[in-house]
Structures are given as C-alpha cells and as structure tokens.
Amino acid sequence: MEPDADTSTPGRITRDDVAYVARLARLNLTDFELDGFTGQLADVLDHAADIEALDLDGVAPTSHPLPLSNVFRADVPTVGPAEEANHRLFCDEVIAAAPAAEESRFRVPPVLGEAP
C-alpha cells in the first residue's frame, strides 16, 4: 500500500488491501471472509464516490461539531492522603477486571522474543 501522492480517486479496494488492513487492525480473516469483506467494503467506498463530484477546494475540514479547546482543571491534587485508600481500591477494581494480572499490573504474553 504505497502512498500515491496525487490520487484523488483511488482504485477499487482489493483483496490484498483488505488483508493488509486486517493485519493492521489485528484481525485474522479466513479466505472466505476476505472475499466477503472485500466486496462489502468496496460497495461502501463506491457509495462514497458520490462526493468526488463536489468542488471541495478551499473548504475547511470539520473534525468536530464544537470549537474545541483544551479543558484544564485547577492544579490541585484530587487524590490526597485522605482519598488514597479509595484510589487504591479503584486501582484494585480495575486490575481485578483484567483477564490476567500480577502484582497490580496487567499481565500479557511475551512482547519481544523469549519470555524472561
């Protein structure tokens, strides 16, 4: 999937594109699923082609309905000594909800190479 600098109308999504995107999204697809999804994704993207006809030069993009600015709170600790016990309890609940944990940490299989 090489970036194509001046492509405004990309070609139809291919089976290879879908396989690549599935890998990026951490989804394993069977051959049968790949065929089905390729056709369905192409249908949706074909429908999106109706906006190709619009003259969008000079139109600013909208990413959000509100003019967002960062929201700051007062620079005071919300977890002081008095709330420490509650905070600890909350962390314990979060850890308890995980599929695997060890010593208050999320436990996962090896990330790089052999397990220590």
Interface contacts to other proteins, rule CB under 8 A: 1-4, 7-10, 13, 17-18, 21-22, 24-29, 37, 40-41, 43-45, 47-52, 54, 56, 59-66, 68, 70-71, 73, 90, 93-94, 97-100, 106, 108-111
d(CA 62, CA 11): 25
Angle formed at CA 41 by CA 35 and CA 44, multiple of 5 degrees: 145
DSSP character for 30?
-
Enclosing H/E stretch for 101: strand 101-102
Q: At what angle do helices 15-24 and 31-48 cross, to 10 degrees?
A: 100
Of 79 and 98, which CB lies nearer to other proteins in the complex structure?
98
Of 73 and 76, which CB lies nearer to other proteins in the complex structure?
73
CB of 23 to other proteins, least distance (A): 8
CB of 43 to other proteins, least distance (A): 5
Of 43 and 83, which CB lies nearer to other proteins in the complex structure?
43
